[in-house]
A and B are shown apart, each in its own frame.
Chain A
Amino acid sequence: MTVASPNDFQESLQPQGWLRYFSFSLDHKVIGLQYLVTGFLFYFIGGALAGVIRAELTSPISDFVSRETYNEVLTLHGTVMIFLWIVPVVNGAFGNYLIPFYVGARDMAFPRLNAVAFWMIPPAGILLIGSYFITGAAQSGWTAYPPLSITTPALGQVVWIVSVLLLGGSSIFGGINFIATVLKLRRPGLKLMQLPMYCWAMLGTSILVVLSTPVLAGTLLLLSFDIVAHTGFFNPALGGNVVVYQHLFWFYSHPAVYIMVLPAFGLVSEILPIHARKPLFGYTTMVYSILAIVVLGLVVWAHHMFTSGTPPWMRLFFTIATSFIAVPTGIKFFNWLATLWGGKLALNSAMLFSCAFIVNFVFGGITGVALAQVPFDIHVHDTYFVVGHFHYIVYGGTVFVIFASVYHWYPKFTGRMLNEDLGRLHFLLTFIGFNLCFAPQHWLGLNGMPRRVAEYDPSFTTLNQISSVGALLMAVSSLPFLYNVIVSAFRGQVAGDNPWNALTPEWLTSSPPPVENWIGEAPLVQHPYGYGVDEDTLSVQAATGRDLWSGAGRR
């Protein structure tokens, strides 16, 4: 009885070359890139949906699309961007590609489960997008709050639930795999506190995934009973309780914010030291900050519900707990600044996106602390202020890091460099477009423009049009990016094994890496951030020691 290894398949059934990416491959690098490319496809679909929303909002009346279509589009936009773009890409794509390298393994702990987890995503995505064309999509937003989700057309809502259940299952399988890989598959001699920060981020994220995603699954099952079998769990007309849905939903969906942003913290912690040529500042505090965010992240969910008749003691508790999250997050923020401080910065595209992440994220973080305060939250609840805040975290935070990571790891993925000039153009357009799009939404929200409505008061027209121009710029910004990633794959400058002179293990092999990651023994990297340190304190290539596989005689 053997645990599946990619080798067994490589020699028999598995296709070679580019066909691998369309197969049930067990290689973590293939799966990682499958996640990444699929994620980007859904990013452009979700972006087109956002384009429809911003086009509609250029005028105060609903003229571009009907109100029902607007509701469908905003529901699909939220669901696609969260469940099919950000979660699969920051977790599935970079996690699967990088984590085995970082722990010194040749693959994930459960390669077959890993492939299953990925192949749950395309059907879920097709179901979700297809529902718009065939049955009409769900109209109740990505939160699917009852009674709205019970009273809007049932078929689209049920398809939405099935799709989210599939994606949740995929996410849980991925989480199990990451936990096992980080905790159990480390190369002998590699201690937990020597792991690159992204491993810690993925461990924390995966704990959140395993603890909170099942609660969403259970809740959606109950919701589907309400829709299909006419039970009354969340239907006040039948004696049910809508607030219970909100509690259960946010028990997942608040941690989901950390599921989307913790891996980004990890990725940026890998990128900054390499391009600043300095060790990551405050490694230990970074680790404990992540663990603190995991614990606190599980007990702050009701701050989304301050206007849902929550009793005063609950408001008090959740305000305090939420404000506390600013402490570990602030520690990480200052650690990144200290990492940059006095460094020899190479302001390339990866670094520009990473630094912009720090700026955007601290802005989103400040509005987040503001939103945690009950009096302020009640004032701006369900307005565009919340939309602005959320997009500063998830776009300005996570998506900026995804772009930084693509620029940083593209040479490893393909063996070729991306064009720097196009990268800087992409950055400039994205940064200006993003701020132009989302900064005005804070003003709109403070002045009372409700979110999720196709029409608004004519006095908000100018700011909405500015916001839409920003969205257009963001759309344009993806053109140089797309051109860059496609053309550079064939004509880019050859990267070599380690174009950034990095010390983390994925760079200590060829680009792209061989099937089992290293020819010969896995390197023992005990100082992944040893930049600017004496050469002899580094043990990049251990002379002795062995990796987990060398006993099996597979060299």
Chain B
Amino acid sequence: MTSLATSGSATAAEAAAAEDHGGHADLRLFGLATFLVADGMTFAGFFAAYLTFRAVNPLPAGSTYELELLLPSINTMLLLVSSYTFHRSGRNLLLGRMGPCRNWLLLTAGLGAAFLTGQMVEYFTLPFGLTDNLFASTFYALTGFHGLHVTLGVICILLVWVQTRNGGRVTSADPFGLEAAELYWHFVDGIWVVLYGILYLL
């Protein structure tokens, strides 16, 4: 994203770039990044609440913070790999290789869906329900809110996949749709790493 706003003198190239974006530099990724800061603060509030609960509110007798580690660890790997596959897709788009770009996209969506399936399996095998105790409620609220983000991400990836078809609006010349989805996906992955750390490992 070129910053026309701070440049003092005009060049023909800058003027042309300005025209491409209907008058001014394309600020959509900047706006999305600002929104993700806000979204991250929502998670930060949840994390702070969870850590405080854990520090000061003892659980009733018989309940425990222990969770099965295998499935969520596999899920963590799935998300980390999906960040890589999305990155590969973006690289291919910029190089104009639409075929590999779309395949990597589909793989990313598949990894996201696999994560959600794993999450579902975990939900159905857990020994506690939403209202059993404070930890149970917080667990479902945190993972559920994150799962909602992953679901939205998968939908976005599939939309971008449709838009990268021949004649679609996402091209190597205008990669915004894919770049936005990618930024969002990395954000959701990053949140999961923190969530995994404090919810499962701590």
- A4 at interface by CB-CB < 8 Å: yes
Contacting pair B5 A185 (CB below 8 A): yes
Contacting pair B131 A3 (CB below 8 A): no
- A461 at interface by CB-CB < 8 Å: no
Q: A188-B7, A244-B52, A546-B10 are in contact. Are A110 and B31 (CB under 8 A)?
A: yes
- A217 at interface by CB-CB < 8 Å: yes
A91 to chain B, nearest CB (A): 15
B19: A residues at CB distance < 8 A = 551-553
CB contact between B24 and one of A175, A185, A214 (< 8 Å): that residue: A185
CB contact between A215 and one of B31, B41, B53, B137 (< 8 Å): that residue: B41
- B25 at interface by CB-CB < 8 Å: yes
Among the listed stretches B56-64, B86-94, B187-195, which one makes contact with chain A, having 4 or more residues with CB under 8 Å of it?
A: B56-64
CB contact between B23 and one of A175, A240, A552 (< 8 Å): that residue: A552
B20: A residues at CB distance < 8 A = 2
A537 to B7: give the CA distance in the assembly, Å.
Answer: 23
The closest CB in chain A to the CB of B177 belongs to A1
A406 to B39: give the CA distance in the assembly, Å.
Answer: 34
Contacting pair A552 B22 (CB below 8 A): yes
CB contact between A548 and one of B24, B45, B130 (< 8 Å): that residue: B24
- B73 at interface by CB-CB < 8 Å: no
Interface residues of A, count at CB 8 A: 57
Q: A215-B42, A215-B44 are in contact. Are A241 and B57 (CB under 8 A)?
A: yes
A55 to B35: give the CA distance in the assembly, Å.
Answer: 44
Q: A184-B27, A552-B22 are in contact. Are A239 and B15 (CB under 8 A)?
A: no
B128 to chain A, nearest CB (A): 12
- B38 at interface by CB-CB < 8 Å: yes
A1: B residues at CB distance < 8 A = 169, 174, 176
The closest CB in chain B to the CB of A546 belongs to B10
Contacting pair B18 A248 (CB below 8 A): no
A232 to B22: give the CA distance in the assembly, Å.
Answer: 51
A213 to B40: give the CA distance in the assembly, Å.
Answer: 11
Q: A4-B22, A188-B6, A225-B137 are in contact. Are A248 and B60 (CB under 8 A)?
A: no
The closest CB in chain B to the CB of A545 belongs to B8
- B138 at interface by CB-CB < 8 Å: yes
Q: A549-B18, A551-B15, A554-B23 are in contact. Are A214 and B38 (CB under 8 A)?
A: yes
Contacting pair B52 A247 (CB below 8 A): yes
Contacting pair B130 A231 (CB below 8 A): yes
A212 to B46: give the CA distance in the assembly, Å.
Answer: 13
A16 to chain B, nearest CB (A): 22
A172: B residues at CB distance < 8 A = 35, 38
Contacting pair B42 A241 (CB below 8 A): no
Contacting pair B56 A241 (CB below 8 A): yes
- A189 at interface by CB-CB < 8 Å: yes
A233 to B28: give the CA distance in the assembly, Å.
Answer: 37
Contact with B along A98-117 (1 / 0, CB 8 A): 00000001100110010000
**B residues at A contact (CB < 8 Å):** 3-10, 14-16, 18-28, 30-31, 34-35, 37-46, 48-49, 52-53, 56-57, 59-60, 130-131, 133-134, 137-138, 141, 145, 169, 174, 176
For the A-B complex with A186-B6, A210-B38, A233-B138 known, give 17 more contacts whose Cβ atoms are closer than 8 Å.
Answer: A109-B31, A113-B31, A172-B35, A172-B38, A180-B27, A184-B24, A210-B37, A214-B39, A214-B42, A229-B130, A231-B137, A232-B131, A241-B56, A244-B53, A551-B14, A552-B15, A552-B23
**A residues at B contact (CB < 8 Å):** 1-5, 8, 105-106, 109-110, 113, 172, 175-177, 179-180, 183-189, 210-215, 217-219, 221-222, 225, 229-233, 238-241, 244, 247-248, 251, 545-546, 548-549, 551-554
